[in-house]
A and B are shown apart, each in its own frame.
Chain A
Amino acid sequence: MTLHPMGIELLQLILLPLLAPAFVGWVKIVKCRMQGRTSPGLLQPYRDIRRLFIKDVVLADNASWIFRVTPYLAFGVILMTAGIIPLISVDLPLAATADIIALVMLFAIVRFFTALAGMDIGTAFGGMGSSREMMISSLAEPAMLMAIFTVSLASSSTSLTQMVSVMANGHFMIRPSLAFSLIAFILIALAETGRIPVDNPATHLELTMIHEAMILEYSGRYLALIEWAGMMKLMVFFSLGIAAFLPWGIAGSGDPLSLLLRGLFFVAKLAVGGVVMVLIETGLAKMRIFRLPEYLGSAFLLATLGMIAFFILE
């Protein structure tokens, strides 16, 4: 018995929102363990989301439709990316609708609307957060495209599923270009998902916050959706990294047993990735915001070096 490709597609769309809070919970567990604290457990993010859904929404009087639409939009768009990123299969019919450049644009749409929503109420914190987020993204986005393009060059395609199947089936080669773009991608992923050297996901009401400043005015189910979308975004970035740089074991047939095995393998890779991220986060301190252009500049440099290395050396 094999599952229809559309069925796998649906499975992925369900898998992402269900697994994302557990992934964030896992990252928190490892982090707490590293810092010698007791952790709240794997299920705490689920409990947080449920609590927020039960709570009432408090809206500012001057909130416009942008403020109310943004949480749904962010959640929906991030969910859509699960349709085109190969998590457990490369046989995705919807992948033909959007390639990797469209994927970056999808992230940009979310960021654009979140920044607008941050400014919508008119509080000082919201505007500050939006302006910072825009500064970071304007520097991170070209670097991310460059890093991804190197993988595209190596597999001569911009379609994610095509890239993954070429990379997963090719014979082993030492490729410095991919190593450079992987490092660049990790730097950018930390910036885009608001992790430690760039933003601290655990603080509120500090002058250093970026993402939290934008969504400060949200409450209740809106906040739940935004938080959930943030967790999904973190997992999407990890999945993208796994798909582009460590795709082994992702391709295969559609029968349920093999799918289950690949799913478990994917979860194992995610878990290891989470540990790596915690190591990075625990080892580094948050950067001053004016050092960020340098940080993202070096990410861009690495991505470009990867591309140059591809042309010069391979």
Chain B
Amino acid sequence: MSTELVIQLNTLLAAMILLTSFALLVQRRMFAILHIFAWQGFFLGLSTAVIGFATGEHHLYISSLLTLVMKVILLPYILYTLIHKLKIHREIESVMNTPATMLAGIGLVIFSYHLTAPVRQLSTLMTRSTLAVALATVMLGLLMMVTRRHAVSQIIGFLAMENGLFFAATSATYGMPMVVELGVALDLLIAAFIFGIFFFHINTTFDSLDVEQMAKLKEGD
């Protein structure tokens, strides 16, 4: 496989990651959001493996495997069982201005492209052009957390942000040291458990996972 083809393949995967970020941003149904999140993890893991293959940095294979196990299987599974147990799988978010969110998202992508321009000029890595996509994924995850009112989709936005950070690490420096990556993976897993506990408490207290409810100070408004 030539370097040219590898770069193009990585570009394609970066484009797919960007597409899934936008899909997360505008998707309303709970399970569909989970599926898209799993796909994003899949593209991320694949892209990491491709970079590892192209550069000969073999520890990237381990992070790729870790990503695939964590973000394609484990985290979606945990969230899936949570959604099932809390019986919120039929819920869809109603209050959301989709076109405005999309336009804001496009603005963020252009902004991150502009922001990473100096890095792109200095860097000699072959993944330098995907850095903008990585930053955009972080920002789109943040935008998702801001625009959503449902706790589960906010969490997914948070996890998508983490995906973006991971992608930024691989495209800016060919990945973080193994210890850091293992630590982050463990943190994420623990975070998912804590989220689960929080969901449970929010749901039992407010009878809904809509975080807007928490803004109310008095009962029975």
Contact = CB atoms under 8 A, between A and B. Distances in A.
Contacts, number: 54
A293 B15 CA distance: 24
Contact of A174 (B12, B26, B106, B129): B12
Contacts of B19: 180, 305
A311 to B, nearest CB: 7
A304 B11 contact: no
B79 interface: no
Interface in A261-314: 293-294, 297-298, 300-301, 304-305, 308-309, 311-314
A173 interface: yes
Contact of B15 (A173, A294, A313): A313
A176 interface: yes
B98 A313 contact: no
A173 B4 CA distance: 9
A313 B26 CA distance: 23
Contact of B26 (A179, A298, A311): A298
A174 B14 CA distance: 12
A87 to B, nearest CB: 30
Interface residues on A, range: 20 to 34
A176 B102 contact: no
B197 to A, nearest CB: 35
A301 B9 CA distance: 22
B22 interface: yes
Contacts of A179: 15
B8 A305 contact: no
Interface string B122-137: 0000000110110000
A179 B16 CA distance: 10
Contact of A312 (B5, B12, B105, B113): B113
A180 B15 CA distance: 9
A312 B129 contact: yes
B22 A308 contact: no
Q: List the 9 closest A-B pairs by CB distance, nearest first.
A: A176-B15, A174-B8, A297-B99, A313-B11, A312-B132, A301-B102, A309-B15, A176-B12, A174-B12
Interface of B: 5, 8-9, 11-12, 14-16, 18-19, 22, 26, 98-99, 102, 105-106, 109-110, 113, 129-130, 132-133
7 contacts: A174-B11, A174-B12, A294-B99, A297-B98, A308-B106, A309-B18, A312-B113
Interface of A: 173-174, 176-177, 179-180, 293-294, 297-298, 300-301, 304-305, 308-309, 311-314
